[in-house]
A and B are shown apart, each in its own frame.
Chain A
Amino acid sequence: MLKKLLLAKSKPAQLLVAILGAFLGLVIIICGLQVYRNMSTLLAKKDLLSGDYIVIGKKVGIMNTISGTTPSFSETEIKEVQEIPGIDKVGSFESGNFRASMELSGKMAEMAGQAFRTDMFFEALPDGFVDIDPDDWKWSENNNSVPIIVSAEYINLYNSAFAKTQNLPVIPESMLKSVTFNIKLIGNGQVEIVEGRIAGFSQRINSILVPKAFLDYANNKFGDGQKKKPSRLILHSKDPASPALSVQLKKSGYEMNGEKLKSSELNGILQVLITVVSIVGVLIVFLALLGFMQYNQLMAYRSAYEIQTLHWLGYKIKELSKPYIQFTFITVFGTYILSIIALFTAQKFFSSWLVSKGFTEDLPGILPSIGLGFVISLLMALISSLAAHRQVKQLSV
């Protein structure tokens, strides 16, 4: 009966505007956080090569095609690169000079239902350049499983285009790690099949890496004995993003792997964008809060006579403000639940879109966004409840 007296004279249009505002603001803020977390995960995936490394190569020119040579670094050139200020370590990509092919083995091969076989090449880096658990990155002749690091680009390319056109199954990164391959090594009239497994993926190295020990062994056994000059170098620098360094490298005619720069730039832009959007969201939430407060105020004012009379009859102020507080919590948290549903739907939609585009990464959970929304909603409900209580107190005298 109290509710009937105190809340009866409300006009829903104003409330609807406040709810809509709160919904919009909440969705913007929690989805903003989610987008930020999604993109951070997608862009800044932990790479096996830390950010202090740069990979450089030489431009391939028409002369290389005609002469049949690959552009490579000579000893003196490597020395020159070593002397560029800001560079403290140089390693060269050592390549295998034997024929190799790879095919799926075990369960995966049965599942795929058809032979998956491809020609392969391998490269190796000096020890200490690959940021991976050393126990996961060792090979000896008696330990037959060869760990491989694959460029994530290759997996993306395979999943997004190749698999579809060739009617091959799409394979997520996580699954690839649990798959074993048969690697066929051919050369010098000998053939050997070893087992291979994928130890990790790298965004930064466009190559297929194996431990140096394995490459040395295979080159020795199956190779033609010639030592190839490296076509790419890996450099370690404390400040790889320094413009002076990249100018110096470009002047020498080398090509840098720009992936790191691009992604950090993108991250920066994204951060600014999401900050701006979030500020807008906070503003909208703030306006919605004012809307709720005003609506409560209005309802209380419309029931000013009822509030005063009920207080005079012996009702406590607490009892009289309770219907307003309940009403506030129900509307604010109803709005909150709607925004959570919106977030959940958007995230689901986004992740299935990613899958359709060939991305295989797991997106971060939505729990932090749900938590943030909860905190904001709680604040909104508490502040407008407090305002309602004060209003009732004022009117009850």
Chain B
Amino acid sequence: MNTIQFENVLPLPLKDTPLQGDVWKTTLVLDRGKRYLVKAESGKGKSTMLNIIYGTRKDFEGTVIMGQVDRKIGDAELSQIRSNKIGYLFQDLRLFGQLTALENILLKPGCVFAVSEIEYYADLLGVKNQLYKPCSKLSLGQQQRIALIRAVSQNFEWLLLDEPFSHLDLANAKKAIDMIHGRAEKLNAGIIATSLGDDSVFEDYTLIQL
């Protein structure tokens, strides 16, 4: 998947909204290896865009072409893509509160991290002590860092980050983005991130306006 191409895509809920951005109802080509920041106010469809790429939203017109392949695929291939090709940090994190942080990461299909690697990254982000606690006992900021480690624990060609640092202070966000960039460069992956406001950590990102 060297490119992700949006062709006249329009989410059905945005049908009656006036549009002038770079994504909806136009052509947009994203290249693997580059970093993109999607900026917009709430309700303009940032998460929708990521969900359309990830295949969790199908209520849209137009076509999304990913490396010459149309998005209409079977369940097995979808699972392959989600396990090996696209990593995703969900805005609502989607951790299982009843499982420990470590279990949450190990549960991820396609996880290539050994427990020692997970501990290394958790140490980097300052959550090593939280790994063996149930996620329900963690603060939102700690949960977000666990979810980040889970997102990069698999191999990926693209990494989708939906407001990745919304619960982190700048210092922690910087540590996190360093980890993300390290993994993405190693895998030569593209990054598509969304953000609401402060984007001082997204220095060299190509801006996409919605």
Residues of A within 8 A of B (CB): 1, 4-5, 8, 306, 309-310, 312-318, 397
A35, B79: Cα distance in complex, Å = 53
Contact: A8 with B103, CB < 8 Å?
A: no
Contacts of A1 in B (CB 8 A): 99, 103, 107
Contact: A317 with B75, CB < 8 Å?
A: yes
Contact: B54 with A312, CB < 8 Å?
A: yes
Which of chain B's residues 94-117 have a Cβ closer than 8 Å to chain A? 94, 96, 98-99, 103, 107-110
Stretch at the interface among B7-15, B82-90, B178-186, B187-195: B82-90
Contact digits for B114-153, partner A, Cβ 8 Å, 1 yes 0 no: 0000000000000000000000000000000000000000
By Cβ-Cβ distance, the 7 closest A-B pairs, closest first, are A314-B82, A314-B109, A314-B83, A316-B79, A309-B94, A317-B75, A314-B79
Contact: B110 with A314, CB < 8 Å?
A: yes
Contact: B90 with A312, CB < 8 Å?
A: yes
Nearest CB in chain A: distance from B183 CB, A: 17
> What number of residue pairs across chains A and B have CB atoms under 8 A from each other?
40
Nearest CB in chain A: distance from B58 CB, A: 8
A interface majority secondary structure: helix
Task: With a 10 A CB-CB cut-off, give which of A1, A4, A316 has the most chain B CB atoms.
Answer: A316
Q: Which residue of A lies closest to B57 (CB)?
A: A397
Nearest CB in chain B: distance from A6 CB, A: 11
Residues of B within 8 A of A (CB): 54, 56, 58, 75-76, 79, 82-83, 88, 90, 94, 96, 98-99, 103, 107-110, 154
Q: Which residue of A lies closest to B54 (CB)?
A: A312
Contact: B76 with A316, CB < 8 Å?
A: yes
Contact: B82 with A313, CB < 8 Å?
A: yes
Instruction: Select which of B58, B98, B99, B109 is within 8 A of A313 by beta carbon.
Output: B109
Given contacts A314-B109, A314-B110, 15 further A-B contacts (CB under 8 A): A1-B107, A4-B98, A4-B99, A5-B98, A309-B96, A312-B56, A312-B82, A312-B88, A312-B90, A313-B108, A314-B79, A314-B83, A316-B75, A316-B76, A318-B75
Nearest CB in chain A: distance from B29 CB, A: 25
Contacts of A318 in B (CB 8 A): 75
Contacts of B94 in A (CB 8 A): 309, 312-313
Nearest CB in chain B: distance from A113 CB, A: 75
A223, B79: Cα distance in complex, Å = 98
A121, B145: Cα distance in complex, Å = 103
Contact: A314 with B108, CB < 8 Å?
A: yes
Task: With a 10 A CB-CB cut-off, give which of A306, A313, A316, A397 has the most chain B CB atoms.
Answer: A313
Contacts of B54 in A (CB 8 A): 312
- 26 pairs, CB–CB < 8 Å, chain A vs chain B: A1-B107, A4-B99, A5-B96, A5-B99, A8-B98, A306-B96, A309-B94, A309-B96, A310-B107, A312-B88, A312-B90, A312-B94, A313-B82, A313-B94, A313-B109, A314-B79, A314-B82, A314-B83, A314-B110, A314-B154, A315-B79, A316-B76, A316-B79, A317-B75, A318-B75, A397-B56
A306, B109: Cα distance in complex, Å = 14
A152, B53: Cα distance in complex, Å = 84
Nearest CB in chain B: distance from A215 CB, A: 84
A397, B90: Cα distance in complex, Å = 15
Contacts of B98 in A (CB 8 A): 4-5, 8
Contacts of B90 in A (CB 8 A): 312
Nearest CB in chain A: distance from B17 CB, A: 24
A97, B34: Cα distance in complex, Å = 119
A1, B54: Cα distance in complex, Å = 25
Q: Which residue of A lies closest to B85 (CB)?
A: A314
A397, B54: Cα distance in complex, Å = 12
Q: Which residue of B lies closest to A317 (CB)?
A: B75
A397, B96: Cα distance in complex, Å = 18
Contacts of B83 in A (CB 8 A): 314
A397, B99: Cα distance in complex, Å = 23
Contacts of A309 in B (CB 8 A): 94, 96
Nearest CB in chain B: distance from A158 CB, A: 73
A309, B56: Cα distance in complex, Å = 10
Contacts of A317 in B (CB 8 A): 75
Contacts of A316 in B (CB 8 A): 75-76, 79
Task: With a 10 A CB-CB cut-off, give which of A4, A309, A314, A317 has the most chain B CB atoms.
Answer: A314
A317, B77: Cα distance in complex, Å = 12
